[in-house]
Amino acid sequence: MGVIPDLRGQLHRFAWATLIANVVLVVTGGAVRLTGSGLGCPTWPQCKGDAFTPRHSLSIHSAIEFGNRSLTFVLVVIAVLTFVAAHQAAKRDGRRELRTVALIIALGIPAQAVIGGITVLTDLNPWIVSFHLLCSLAIIALSVLLLRLVDTGAPLPAPSAPRPVLALSWATFAAAWAVLYVGTVVTGAGPHAGDEKAPRNGLSPLQTAQLHADLVFLYVGLTVGLLAVLAATHARPQAVRAVQVLLAVELAQGAIGFVQYFTHVPVVLVGFHMLGAAVIMATTTWAVLVTREGDRKAG
């Protein structure tokens, strides 16, 4: 039994809004770092002194940082609307898993705001900044899960794909997280730490970039392996397409990464690379969810 069509459509739109808004948050957070605006509002939750807005000392940096903070309120509104729709679905259709995922996403938004505040209060400690981005990526992954739950019209079933497919899909997912985490470490060692005076993590940019590249090769290799196993096991076209899209996104992201490295990390390319990181998390999560379902038909 699926979610009532009108309610399902509403929840589907809110789930998409949640996903897109959190991708935008990653991009605007990247803009804060890339413009050196991380301490444009040097206190938290206030912006400067006792003021919550930078109106008395407005500058380009304070405007950018405050704009990123303000996006949190938009995210909260979307998250609340999504949760209300999911709660209605749970009441009418017994889909409690929709309510659970929507609640976790909703709670994650204010938690992210607090982590953002801690990054400011610690003068952009690079390890906390990394954690801040990873939390956004986790919310993106949960948003994709919510979309999949709405699309299938039923709770996620137990994995039914062949073991090699499951093993490779989860290994690919783990590799994606490793790539993204080490990518944040590379940024923390490089020139775009969010403010000219912000501390770096003290690691070698060259060595961390090499580790990042090695993990990218592993990630792409696992994806190619997953695609080959899907073909060998005659998997559903939907699963094959999901992994093909993932591979295309990986190759595009890898190309941007190599170009930005050899052109000394220009701001524009780094911004596109951060957008790519959000898309990588979304497409990887989608590929794992689709491939694990074996021969199950989507609702």
Domain boundary pick from 125, 156, 187: 156
Domain of 183 in residue numbering reads as 159-299
pTM over 0.75: yes
Over residues 141-195, the pLDDT tens digits come to 999 999 999 988 777 777 878 888 999 999 999 999 999 999 989 888 877 665 6
Q: Which segment of 88-97, 194-203, 220-229 scores lowest on mean pLDDT?
A: 194-203
pLDDT of residue 5: 53
Identify whether residues 192 and 137 lie together within a single domain.
no
Alpha helices (runs of H) in 94-162, residue ranges in sequence order = 96-121, 126-152
Average pLDDT, the chain: 87
Identify whether residues 141 and 190 lie together within a single domain.
no
Percent of the chain with pLDDT over 70: 92
Over residues 233-284, the pLDDT tens digits come to 888 999 999 999 999 999 999 999 889 888 887 888 888 999 999 999 999 9
Domain boundary pick from 156, 184, 206: 156
- Whether residue 93 is predicted with pLDDT greater than 80 in this model: the reply is no
**Rounded (5°) CA angle 185-17-81:** 115
Q: Which segment of 4-13, 33-42, 154-163 scores lowest on mean pLDDT?
A: 4-13
Query: Comparing 6 with 106, which gets the higher pLDDT?
Result: 106
pLDDT of residue 55: 66
Q: How many domains does the chain have?
A: 2
**CB atoms inside a 10 Å sphere around CB 295:** 10
DSSP labels, 258-296: HHHHHTT--HHHHHHHHHHHHHHHHHHHHHHHHHTTTTP
Domain boundary pick from 126, 156, 186: 156
Identify whether residues 90 and 137 lie together within a single domain.
yes
Identify whether residues 205 and 149 lie together within a single domain.
no
Residue 299: closest CA among 8, 6, 7: 8
CA–CA distance, 199 with 188 (Å, rounded to integer): 8
